[in-house]
Structures are given as structure tokens and as C-alpha cells.
Amino acid sequence: MPKAVLSVDFDSARKEMVEDQIKGRGIQDNAVLQALLKVPRHLFVEPGFLSRAYSDFALPIKESQTISQPYIVALMTQSAMLNADDRVLEIGTGSAYQAAVLAEIVKEVYTIEIVESLARTADSKLKKLGYKNITVRHGDGYRGWQEKSPFDAILITAAAPTIPQLLVDQLKVGGRMVLPLGKTGGSQDLVVLTKQENGKLKEQYITAVVFVPMTGEIRR
């Protein structure tokens, strides 16, 4: 491992990241800020990128996927308007960093990853870190996790070309779905969808983002 990486003070870098990149860019939810202060992002990035673990960039992980930039993780988490007793479904486990952040805030996290090797690695890593309120499943997130529904919030961490109705059906009335909506090959709209009593969705635009595509049945 390069000496430059060995000399990184990860605790100080994480505090600086939260102060400058997260709080400094308008994230105000204290639970979100505390979660990002606690979760060691450097344990979720690939070894070759340790020196950039607390920079505000998305970084490549295995299987042509990415770990989202810290600000976007914070923004999506804040946008979900989470409470301590919430049950949350995440679609697209990836590195498991987002799942860990969620688990610091809510009661239960269920996360689905379509790439089996990533699901296995995520499950192992989260267990080693002591997370007992996260359940990882290998599968197609398009169909959600019916037997564990309904959920207070659903976060989709891959670009969806359309709103997956099967996931809407698994959301509680008043529940929030946060997702990058739109085609890949350019930017998508990060939106929050709130489920109304009549089953319809109230949509709120947050910002433009760029995510890897959601794969599986939604693309067929």
C-alpha cells in the first residue's frame, strides 16, 4: 500500500468531509450528519482509492459499479425524511455504504443487489462491521421485497427509466421513494415521490444526477 495512503488520518478526513462537503452544501438533518460522521467510508471503497475515500466523488467498485459521492448519499438520505423507527428498502446495495448510513438512522434496512458477488461482499462486510439491522438479498430489486413490505421509505440507487409500480405498491401511505428517474447516457432527475392516501404519487424534484442504470426486469 502506498505510503501516502498509510499516512491518511481517516477520522479527521471524515469530519472534514461532513463539515465542508455535506453540511457546507446545505445538508441540515442532524441524524444524517451524525450517520456520515460515524460510517467509515474508507472501508467501502476499493484499496486503490483509499486516499480519495473522503473526497466528494463517486468512485468505481467491482462489476462496473460505483460508490456514490458522499453528498449524494447525504442528499438522498435527507430527502427520504427518515424517522428512527422506520423500515427502509434500498434497491442497489453496491458497496453497502448507503445501507450502512441508513442503518445508523432507522430501525431496519432491507437491501437488494442484483449482482451476486456484490451482494455477498456487502453482506460479509456489514456483518464484520457489526450491523445487525441490515438484511441483504441477492435478486432483482425491480420486484422489491413483498414479504417485508410495506416500507416507510424506498431508496433506489440506480437510474430507473420509469417509476416501478411494484415498488410503489410496497410503500406505505405517506411513505417516500427517492430515486434517479430518467434514461441513462446523460443526467437523471433525482426525485422524491410521496404516496398519497388515494395511491397516487406527489413528485418533488431535487436536482440533476448521474447514476449507473438499474438493470434486470425493468430493462426488458
**Which sequence positions are flagged as catalytic?**
68
Contact criterion met (CB below 8 Å) for 123 and 58: no
Beta-carbon contacts of residue 192 (< 8 Å; ≥ 6 apart) = 79, 80, 176, 177, 178, 203, 204, 206
Phi, psi of 196 (to 5 degrees): -85, 170
Strand 188-195 and strand 201-209: the pairing is antiparallel
Strand 134-138 and strand 108-113: the pairing is parallel
Contact criterion met (CB below 8 Å) for 67 and 97: yes
